[in-house]
Amino acid sequence: MKVTITDIAKIANVSVATVSRVINNKSKGVSEQTRTRLLKLIEEYNFEPNAVARGLVTKKSKIIGLLIQDIANPFYPRLAKGVEEEANLRGYNIILCDGNNSEEKEVNYLDFLNKHYVAGIIYNNFNNIGDKILNIIVNNSIPLVFIDSKIDIPGIRCVYVENEKAIYELVSYLISIGHRKIGFITGPMDSYSTNERFKGYIKVLEDNQIPIDYDLIVEGDYTIPKGYETMGILLDRKTEMTVVVCCNDLMAIGAMEMLEERNIKVPDEMSIVGFDNIDMSRIVRPKLTTVSQPSYEMGRAAAKMLINIIENKSKKNDASVVFLPELVIRDSVKKLN
């Protein structure tokens, strides 16, 4: 059986209040003598305060919920690592919840975190937020920060990258080296990041007076197989496309598989670019030109921000954190001029 605060109190012949003071490091209210005596006993009997009981009283825990969409997507592990490491530094632990791209699961997890009185939530909303989720977020008083997404709810902070700008720059680069017929494989259209990236794509074409051709656009889902499949669709439409922008590296890699299968050489006959700069983008041949997202740093920033809010250390001017993605030019794009 596990030893409780009452056991220790009895053994030491003091009140539970005194033991409580010691285990909570309340500097005053306990004589040095009692303190050391208790500390020894606690050590000896291997007493660990019951976190559940504690949570019931304080309504606080040292747990942060991290809700992401798909841990199998290599973008997320680095982000999770960043969150975990920063949180650990400050004494917090992480519950990692995988929403699996399902709104139902997401709602369940949000409920779960709520019921368990986690100290705060780091939330990666993949889908456009439905009313149900919005309701939960606004109504539960748990501190929350958005990561890799942005939302306009007053008082809610976000950590994200400039997706629109990133695509804008990426496509500008493609245009500057002579590409005009630019294919585009999106993520799921109800995803925040996809929408931003799509906006960037449309905008840069307009700014360069390139007409938008919907035959060049197809909806993906951020997985390798879908990249493979959608590349096939694009190819079958027999456009004059010279490059395909994929909304993440995974799809770019899938697309390259299709290209290889059809014996179309990258980049000589078709250029490909991705987004994320995951490890694989360096491994694939030709090496993938892509956009680097600082996912680890985003994770750390989000954790830092959240814990500051939790501990009321958040300064007035602690606004949302915006990262700038960086163009990573490698070998999968051909210069046309």
Interface residue list for DNA (CB under 7 A): 2, 4-6, 13-18, 20-21, 23-24, 28-31, 33-34, 47-50, 53-54, 56-58
Which option in DNA, a copy of itself, none does residue 265 bind, with CB closer than 5 to 8 A by kind? none
Which CB, 243 or 310, lies closer to DNA? 310
Angle CA(223)–CA(254)–CA(211) in degrees, nearest 5? Answer: 90
Classified as helix, coil or strand, 206 is helix
Alpha helix segments (H runs only) across the chain: 5-12, 16-23, 32-45, 51-58, 75-89, 103-115, 131-139, 163-176, 192-207, 224-236, 249-261, 280-283, 295-310
CB of 25 to DNA, least distance (A): 10
Which CB, 20 or 100, lies closer to DNA? 20
Contact positions vs a copy of itself (CB under 8 A): 48-53, 55-56, 61, 63, 71-72, 74, 76-78, 80-81, 84-85, 88, 93-98, 100, 105, 109, 111-112, 114-117, 224, 253, 279-280, 283-285
**What are 97's strand-pairing partners?**
67
Whether the CB-CB separation of 194 and 221 falls below 8 Å is answered with: no
Which CB, 16 or 95, lies closer to DNA? 16
CB of 165 to DNA, least distance (A): 45
Which option in DNA, a copy of itself, none does residue 81 bind, with CB closer than 5 to 8 A by kind? a copy of itself
Whether the CB-CB separation of 186 and 217 falls below 8 Å is answered with: yes
Q: How far is CA 329 from CA 163, 177, 326, 335, in A?
A: 17, 12, 9, 12
Which option in DNA, a copy of itself, none does residue 207 bind, with CB closer than 5 to 8 A by kind? none
Which CB, 26 or 237, lies closer to DNA? 26
Which CB, 74 or 232, lies closer to a copy of itself? 74
Cβ contacts of residue 57 below 8 Å, gap of 6+? none
Cβ contacts of residue 263 below 8 Å, gap of 6+? none
CB of 132 to DNA, least distance (A): 21
